[in-house]
Structure 1
């Protein structure tokens, strides 16, 4: 039985796959197995995997019909035989000393999992850069080199990088947690992370870089395709996990605000042709939460976005109002209360029956925007 099992889902990764696999097989700690799950690739990825398997008995290859990264990871988890688990992406690089550093620390401190930092490589511009999300400096500043759990983090819990490749897991802990990746979703990492974080009792943050993440415009999370709409279901399932682990009351305000921020961020990334469908699903979800505790816990900016979704008749109106209010904030335009009241009175009821809006509908935009900006 190997000490470490590495699970790598692979889908059309021929461009970087050799380098990524080499970074695992060339680890200075070599008591490992590499479980590669090809997710129905249409390029030469499967052939590359089979060659590695023929040359190195530590490489095990499985092939599925294309279902998505979450499905491939879950399938790979069923094949694990090692004491520790690492989840690798097929286009990135793990530093060669990683496992040699991680294994003895996890053994000595009896960790559920270990967390480390990553740097980014921009493929198109050929440059390296860091982000706060990959560095997790707010977490590092709190826990330093101490073993911790979620209770030690407070609201900094939401600064955690949910990606599995920046963590080294005790397999027994993962197996007993019952955590799975969300299937048929590009945002499959979230479900896995939020299920394990409340169950882990012993976590260690290693304030060093061990991973290079490739960033390129066609990556799954930056493509802005129809799959972005799934973020609504993802966030709702995250809230259910907080409920499952008895943590909703402890994080309710922060979680509700994050819901609107997460969804808005993905909406802003989506391609124009999918905006209407995203808006419809977003509006249906928000209308259920109107005049509830959820709305009352939103901060001023996010409450404005929340109500703008509900009050807008379509995505074009929603975008126009947001754009108008963003420009007002940047220009720091102030509006007297009396003038505002006159505007509201004059255009009261104007919204009914309006299906489209452009900037010539200027008065209507002001009604909604100013109403929420003055609060």
Structure 2
């Protein structure tokens, strides 16, 4: 039996990209879907475009709301979702035509609770090439959380995953914060018994100027420090490997704030907080055999070659 799958798409001022996104969803090989377009107070033509698509396809629902940010839009979409399963797609991204079918199939074939695929990193005016699966693995929840926090196989991102919808009944995305995915994904994974990851690259993650990931550094970028504090507290009475993974993730976040926060006086407390976390965690994380090679090199440089770090850091691709 093909279960109804809800696709939640937060929409805000994406009139240039919305058509490509929505049309990739409507052409899915898995047809038993509902598409919830959440217009988050758009000031361009995005809201009207949502209504236009609703008139073309009965599977589309539209929610118009005051601007509240990505988390609020997702939360409103979740409330309206009627599917057994749910997935999130950002409105300036694009998915392969078998994105939903693939995630649903690997979930069903392995009696899983969450399914994960990989992204393709896409750039304007470049051809998008999706890739088939060459590797698949089934995780217990704890092992999947560890893998995610070490940032090895799959990302701490809400998109590119298919979940049982009822996992979100008691968990919401935090409103008004950046890195909202980091705040909830480990909690969602913690509800599951079995998580299936396939390395098929089926989610087209678009890198554009002006997107959240390319905007100028702000106070909101420091939200990750608060989120990581919550993460380490959550894991404080759990297994040693979960605690180590949480510490590694927190250390990576502190390193990122230390490197990216402008030295203009506005971020002095956040920089000091990051330095303190690095001081506490550095040696412990360095002794962890599970950390990525990139992390080990970064921490070695922090300890012994700090003056040249800015030069090297600029050349690092954070997505690899």
> What is the TM-score when the length of structure 1 is the normalising length?
0.69
Name the CA distance, whole Å, in 1 between partners of 2:77 and 2:47: 15
Cα drift, residue 162 of structure 1: 1.2
Unaligned 5+ residue runs, structure 1? 309-320, 330-375
Match of 2:30 in 1: 29
Structure ranking higher on relative contact order (CA contacts 8 Å, 6+ apart): 2
Match of 1:282 in 2: 271
SS at match of 1:30: coil
Match of 2:91 in 1: 90
SS at match of 1:260: helix
Report if the CA contact (8 A) 1:2-1:33 is conserved.
Answer: no
Find the structure with the greater CA-based Rg.
Answer: 1
Q: 1:237 aligns with which of 211, 225, 230?
A: 230
Report if the CA contact (8 A) 2:115-2:162 is conserved.
Answer: yes
SS at match of 1:211: strand
Question: Aligned pair in 2 of structure 1 residues 88, 326: CA closer, same or farther (>3 Å)?
Answer: closer
Alignment of 1:159-308 (within 5 A): 159=151, 160-172=154-166, 174-175=167-168, 178-226=170-218, 227-243=220-236, 246-247=237-238, 249-270=240-261, 272=262, 276-284=265-273, 294=281, 297-299=284-286, 302=299, 305=302
Cα drift, residue 112 of structure 1: 0.6
Name the CA distance, whole Å, in 1 between partners of 2:198 and 2:205: 17
Report if the CA contact (8 A) 1:2-1:81 is conserved.
Answer: no
Name the CA distance, whole Å, in 1 between partners of 2:45 and 2:215: 22
Question: Aligned pair in 2 of structure 1 residues 216, 30: CA closer, same or farther (>3 Å)?
Answer: same
Name the CA distance, whole Å, in 2 between partners of 1:12 and 1:154: 33
Name the CA distance, whole Å, in 1 between partners of 2:242 and 2:192: 17
Cα RMSD, aligned residues only: 3.5
Report if the CA contact (8 A) 1:180-1:191 is conserved.
Answer: no
Report if the CA contact (8 A) 1:120-1:129 is conserved.
Answer: no
Report if the CA contact (8 A) 1:120-1:215 is conserved.
Answer: yes
Question: Aligned pair in 2 of structure 1 residues 113, 298: CA closer, same or farther (>3 Å)?
Answer: closer
Unaligned 5+ residue runs, structure 2? 287-295, 313-320
SS at match of 2:92: coil
Report if the CA contact (8 A) 1:117-1:206 is conserved.
Answer: yes
Please give the per-residue CA displacement for 1:255-289, whole angstroms capped at 9, x wherever unaligned.
3343232233245345x4x85323322324655x6
Match of 2:120 in 1: 119
Name the CA distance, whole Å, in 1 between partners of 2:155 and 2:224: 17
Report if the CA contact (8 A) 2:146-2:241 is conserved.
Answer: no
Match of 2:10 in 1: 9
Name the CA distance, whole Å, in 1 between partners of 2:38 and 2:145: 37
Cα drift, residue 42 of structure 1: 1.5
Match of 2:315 in 1: none
Structure with the larger helix share: 1
Question: Aligned pair in 2 of structure 1 residues 103, 241: CA closer, same or farther (>3 Å)?
Answer: same
> What is the TM-score when the length of structure 2 is the normalising length?
0.79
